[in-house]
Structure 1
Amino acid sequence: MSIHVIKMPDLGEGIAEVELVAWRVLPGERVVEDQILADVMTDKATVEIPSPVVGQVLALGGEVGQVLAVGAELIRIEVEAQEAVSPSPAGGGPGWGQPPQAAQAVQAVPATQAGQPPSQPSPREGRSERPIASPAVRRRAWELGIALQQVAATGAGGRIMQADLDAHVAAHGAVHGAGVPAGVRPVQRHDEEQIPVVGLRRRIAQKMQESKRRIPHFTYVEEVDVTELEALRAQLNAKWGAQRGHLTLLPLLVRAMVLAVREFPQINARFDDEAGVVTRHGAVHLGIATQTEAGLMVPVLRHAEAKDLWASAAEVARLAQAARAGKATRDELTGSTLTITSLGALGGIVSTPVINHPEVAIVGVNRIALRPVMRDGVVVARQMMNLSSSFDHRVVDGVDAAQFVQALRGYLESPTTLFVE
């Protein structure tokens, strides 16, 4: 037997340190060659670190959330005799002598959420009190009065799913809320849960903080009558939906934004505030804010100016699916010049979206609602929607922002103009 010390490899691109976001193994566990040991996150991607040897884990080199330098000790493995190898060099490349592809990059989502269950026991077995679950699952468990530590997990990497809560309620009932057994009375609760902000959640927090710190935001809200737009969308879906696919509101809004930024190129821009340079882009690369179980991601619809409604719809659907499955690549998650954000049916009346730095604007879509509106002195029912858009006041004047939103409004309220060049 010999001891093999695996050190944090050099992942390239000038990366000097990474964040440890998940352990896939436990001390005392036997591992095989190419088994994933840990997930680490750079500023661009989550990377899986594989084992180059067969043996038993002796010690882990850090806690989840800890930042490790390239060359720092990651893990110690007691190597089985027939597998004895010399210790890996500090800063050895991914796979330690294997091609770089041995350390698989999974863009912006922890590998345990990428749809591939680990080949070893769940990270929760023998672990501490910290169960793995999405915010939605945690909230529902709290509402039901269920301690997540008591729930059997069936998701990848020991993740607790909504179905696991359903099974637990069916077997044991709940303290309060949905599924309360008859006769159970509410009780006081004094439990607390500390949730480390690590991995993608930390990256999102840092990005939002940096954006708000560096950018003086101002938000402009305007209501839009989308009655005619919705009528057109219904006609297009009735005629072409079966052959070309179903259209949501989003591709029509994309088209309106493409036309509006031709009139207001200062909106489709990125501001390098350190260099003091604003770059206006001819290409419209639209970031589409997408909620996933891992957190908010912004896949990019590239060259929206060159796509028709159905091409935009298909690409947006593909990008959203890739992001939610943890399959989006680095190129699909970077390079946007302007962003759209929407909470869909939960969109509320008004929002104050945060700009996706270093862009200078973001367009927020609120929900469509049937409202009474005055038209020619008569109250009529119209489908109304608010646009809540934020701008970087350093480079976008209030009048420019207002005129841009009014241009959007004009295209959306007179949808035939969307097809006039």
Structure 2
Amino acid sequence: MKTVEVRVPDIGDFRDVEVIELMVAAGEKIARDQSLVLVESDKASMEIPSPQAGIVREMKVRLGDRISEGSLLLLLDVEDDGEAAADVGDVPDNGKKAGMEMQWREDAVSVVSPLSQDNGLRHAVDDTKAARAQGALPHASPSVRKYARELGVDLRHVRGTGPKERIMKTDVQGYVRALLNREGSPNRFDNVMNLPPWPSLDFSQYGETELQPLSRIKKISGPNLHRNWVMIPHVTQYEQADVTELEAFRKSVNGRYRQEDIQLTVLAFVVKACVAALKKYPEFNASLDATGENLILKRYYHIGFATDTAQGLVVPVIRDADRKGVIQIAREMTQLSSLAREGKLNPSDMQGASFTITSLGSIGGTYFTPLINAPEVAIVGLSRITTQPVWDGEQFRPRLILPLSLSYDHRVIDGVQGVRFATYLAKVLSDMKETLL
């Protein structure tokens, strides 16, 4: 019997993911590939498996700990059969793995939102924060620092409630709430935006109520959605695509591939059509840089598609959609959607999208305003296909019409570009060729 270290394997670009469940305990006998801990990253939960069978000697993490690739999870007693035991996620001494440099440095927060400049909002809510040494780096994880930068919060003015006064995400949120609710301050956000205070009511006085906590995914995505809606000037362009021929073609292809258990959906064709539109109008396949003064044009086409799960929406990504046929795209969408519903998506499955599609067609509706998934600059929404009478120059004929809702960042894309992209996308969908397969 010998003791080996079990470490966090490669989990993509995510760092400081939170341990939300311990699935084994000291003294427990475990099997190879048995789940050890459940961790939560942005919009996903992941189970980390054991590399081999053995008996847990000692747990090295606790609930609430933040871990990254290479972090020590536990000590495992295994049979000494002369075979070298491979640690999970071994990180070479030079700090690099598979050509990817691991960056652990915690940079100081220096970005402040325009609202907080010269108007007193950088002052502490609690006067004791003024005692923090000037220039000293607050104790916070990289994810919390990034979150603070997005909100324009100076962490030197935030009191940490974590171990050793470590600043948690909830501390940043509490600081912002305190600023918003400060009575008598001429610099409150509601005064800047001329908004009345948020209503606070005891709803139980009107009848029976029930308190229902938000799901983890909604708690994580909610602040991001709020940020995107407030910070991005959304414009939504509506268009209609005649998909009569496309639908007939889709059904014939499904019949052809029925034995291979492949189910083509309209969404798979829309992915391919979006790639064609993005190639023609590359400013839609881009992001603003941190200064907001330059546009980063992307030469790859990774298409995200919103997927509904019991915990909320997640966005898996079809990578290099320009290099794949519709059949392959449909197959990958089926696999990723299944993993999403089971809560088994890896962080890498949801990273790197350059454009996103969200579809409500299976539910209903006509048009809606999809929220842009920052740092992307556009998103397209699909509603239910309906049969409508269309004039062909001689008479009205029944045609299948797909409503499209294109939201775009007006800082990057003007109205003319938005109309051109939407109409071109509708044109492509109206005339899809079999060569797309």
The verdict on how the C-alpha distance between 1:15 and 1:52 changes in structure 2, with shifts beyond 3 A counting, is farther
30-39 vs 211-220, which moves further: 30-39
In the alignment, what sits opposite 1:32? 28
The verdict on how the C-alpha distance between 1:274 and 1:419 changes in structure 2, with shifts beyond 3 A counting, is same
Alignment of 1:140-219 (within 5 A): 190-195=208-213, 197=214, 199-219=216-236
Q: Is residue 2:401 matched to residue 1:384?
A: yes
SS of equivalent residue, structure 2 residue 279: helix
Alignment of 1:57-136 (within 5 A): 93-95=72-74, 99-100=87-88
The verdict on how the C-alpha distance between 1:198 and 1:23 changes in structure 2, with shifts beyond 3 A counting, is farther
SS of equivalent residue, structure 1 residue 232: helix
The verdict on how the C-alpha distance between 1:224 and 1:203 changes in structure 2, with shifts beyond 3 A counting, is same
Q: Is residue 2:44 matched to residue 1:41?
A: no
1:392 and 1:323 map into 2 onto residues whose CA distance is: 28
1:212·1:354 contact (CA, 8 Å) conserved in 2?
yes
The verdict on how the C-alpha distance between 1:404 and 1:20 changes in structure 2, with shifts beyond 3 A counting, is same
SS of equivalent residue, structure 1 residue 351: coil
How far apart are residue 289 of structure 1 and its match? Answer: 0.8
2:383·2:404 contact (CA, 8 Å) conserved in 1?
yes
1:12 and 1:321 map into 2 onto residues whose CA distance is: 19
How far apart are residue 414 of structure 1 and its match? Answer: 2.1
SS of equivalent residue, structure 1 residue 328: coil
Which residue of 423, 426, 433 corresponds with 1:409?
Answer: 426
Q: Is residue 2:306 matched to residue 1:270?
A: no
The verdict on how the C-alpha distance between 1:96 and 1:323 changes in structure 2, with shifts beyond 3 A counting, is same
How far apart are residue 270 of structure 1 and its match? Answer: 2.5
SS of equivalent residue, structure 2 residue 423: helix
Letter in 1 for 2:208: H
Which residue of 295, 308, 312 corresponds with 2:325?
Answer: 308
2:43·2:314 contact (CA, 8 Å) conserved in 1?
no
2:14 and 2:245 map into 1 onto residues whose CA distance is: 52
1:252-296 Cα deviation digits (max 9, x unpaired): 212211211121011112223446432222221100111112221
In the alignment, what sits opposite 1:127? none
How far apart are residue 20 of structure 1 and its match? Answer: 5.9
1:287 and 1:236 map into 2 onto residues whose CA distance is: 24
1:372 and 1:317 map into 2 onto residues whose CA distance is: 33
Letter in 2 for 1:194: Q
The verdict on how the C-alpha distance between 1:419 and 1:406 changes in structure 2, with shifts beyond 3 A counting, is farther
How far apart are residue 46 of structure 1 and its match? Answer: 3.6
1:61 and 1:312 map into 2 onto residues whose CA distance is: 40
Alignment of 1:5-20 (within 5 A): 19=18
In the alignment, what sits opposite 1:136? none
Q: Is residue 2:333 matched to residue 1:337?
A: no
In the alignment, what sits opposite 1:279? 296
2:19·2:66 contact (CA, 8 Å) conserved in 1?
no
Which residue of 381, 393, 415 corresponds with 1:364?
Answer: 381
1:241·1:247 contact (CA, 8 Å) conserved in 2?
no
How far apart are residue 402 of structure 1 and its match? Answer: 1.0
2:387 and 2:291 map into 1 onto residues whose CA distance is: 46
SS of equivalent residue, structure 2 residue 74: coil
SS of equivalent residue, structure 2 residue 401: strand
Q: Which runs of 5+ in 1 are unaligned?
A: 1-8, 71-90, 103-187
2:357 and 2:218 map into 1 onto residues whose CA distance is: 20
- Percent sequence identity over aligned pairs: 33
How far apart are residue 313 of structure 1 and its match? Answer: 1.1
Which residue of 335, 340, 343 corresponds with 1:318?
Answer: 335
Q: Is residue 2:245 matched to residue 1:228?
A: yes
1:216·1:392 contact (CA, 8 Å) conserved in 2?
yes
Letter in 2 for 1:282: R
After superposition, the CA RMSD in angstroms is 3.8
Letter in 2 for 1:292: T
In the alignment, what sits opposite 1:398? 415
In the alignment, what sits opposite 1:348? 365
2:211 and 2:298 map into 1 onto residues whose CA distance is: 46
2:265 and 2:255 map into 1 onto residues whose CA distance is: 13
1:300·1:332 contact (CA, 8 Å) conserved in 2?
yes
2:26 and 2:301 map into 1 onto residues whose CA distance is: 51
1:338 and 1:272 map into 2 onto residues whose CA distance is: 16
1:216·1:393 contact (CA, 8 Å) conserved in 2?
yes
Count of residues in correspondence between the two structures: 296
1:100-135 Cα deviation digits (max 9, x unpaired): 459xxxxxxxxxxxxxxxxxxxxxxxxxxxxxxxxx
TM-score by length of 2: 0.58
The verdict on how the C-alpha distance between 1:32 and 1:189 changes in structure 2, with shifts beyond 3 A counting, is farther
1:35-76 Cα deviation digits (max 9, x unpaired): 978644344754558995589xxxx987xxxx6667xxxxxx
SS of equivalent residue, structure 2 residue 282: coil
Q: Which runs of 5+ in 2 are unaligned?
A: 1-7, 77-85, 91-205
1:283·1:303 contact (CA, 8 Å) conserved in 2?
yes
2:324 and 2:12 map into 1 onto residues whose CA distance is: 33
TM-score by length of 1: 0.60
